[in-house]
Amino acid sequence: ISLVFFFHSSVSHRFIAKPCALGLKVQANGPQKAQPNAILEKVFTAITKHPDEKRLEGLSKQLDWDVRSIQRWFRQRRNQEKPSTLTKFCESMWRFTFYLYIFTYGVRFLKKTPWLWNTRQCWNGYPYQPLMPDLHYYYIVELSFYWSLMFSQFIDIKRKDFGIMFTHHIVTVTLITFSYVTNLTRVGTLTLCLHDAADVVLEAAKMANYCKCQKLSDLLFLTFAIIFIVSRLGIYPLW
């Protein structure tokens, strides 16, 4: 299922998200590219992306460039590795679509369960609680999505927060797997639904920001902050 998500995200980027982004006039061009230079490229890829003053002076003598021009080249080369606004919009649209679907599914599923409003029901009969097909599907889809995010990090453009996000995905996958194996699935469904609520609005706010709809973006970010505080800092630890 993780591979299906990965394939679906690629198809979605190309045939759905990208046309939508271009229709909304999202900037398609990436950062300005640095002029080709074999020596500087070798230093950038093999040694350092942030040369110190001593190395800058050595490169200046070797290339007969002034230090400021070399600093500008490294800055442009670093920016070159950043994803374009179009790419970021497509990624946010894919995540928004998933979070909206899975949050809606979670709410519809939990409305039929006795433990939504009475959390004591999460522990009645534990650990001998039946694994309902809807609950099993909910877990497998969530787990597969985070596996796909972890895999795609190695193929997408590497970003500054690569390590942090990789750790986040590992922890998320571990927690979901642990709760499934130990049959803590009832409280797990409540946790998943609470966390997905804020993510839906966050991705929507990002898309509005990439489209330069500033007022809508500000409103959505404010809404995200309220939902985040209420759900993750209020309901989750207290209830």
Tens of pLDDT, residues 177-190: 999 999 999 999 99
pLDDT at position 117 is: 92
How far apart, in whole angstroms, are the C-alpha atoms of residue 20 and residue 29?
16
Q: Is a pLDDT exceeding 80 seen at residue 21?
A: no
Please state which architecture CATH assigns to domain 38-81.
Orthogonal Bundle (1.10)
CA 125 to chain centre: 36
Average per-residue pLDDT for the chain: 87
Q: Calculate mean pLDDT across residues 14-37.
A: 71
pLDDT at position 81 is: 73
Higher pLDDT, 81 or 71: 71
pLDDT at position 82 is: 78
N-to-C CA span, the chain? 32
Residues 104 and 97: beta-carbon distance below 8 Å? no
Looking up tokens 């909304």, which residue turns up?
24
Q: How far is CA 25 from CA 185, 213, 217, in A?
A: 43, 11, 16
Residue partners of 201: CB distance under 8 A and separation at least 6: 220, 223, 224, 227
> Which residue intervals of the chain bear CATH 1.10.10.60?
38-81
Q: Is a pLDDT exceeding 80 seen at residue 221?
A: yes
How far apart, in whole angstroms, are the C-alpha atoms of residue 239 and residue 235?
5
pLDDT at position 78 is: 83
pLDDT 10s digits, 194-217: 999 999 999 999 999 998 899 999
pTM for the model: 0.80
Q: Is a pLDDT exceeding 70 seen at residue 100?
A: yes
In the chain, % of residues over pLDDT 90: 49
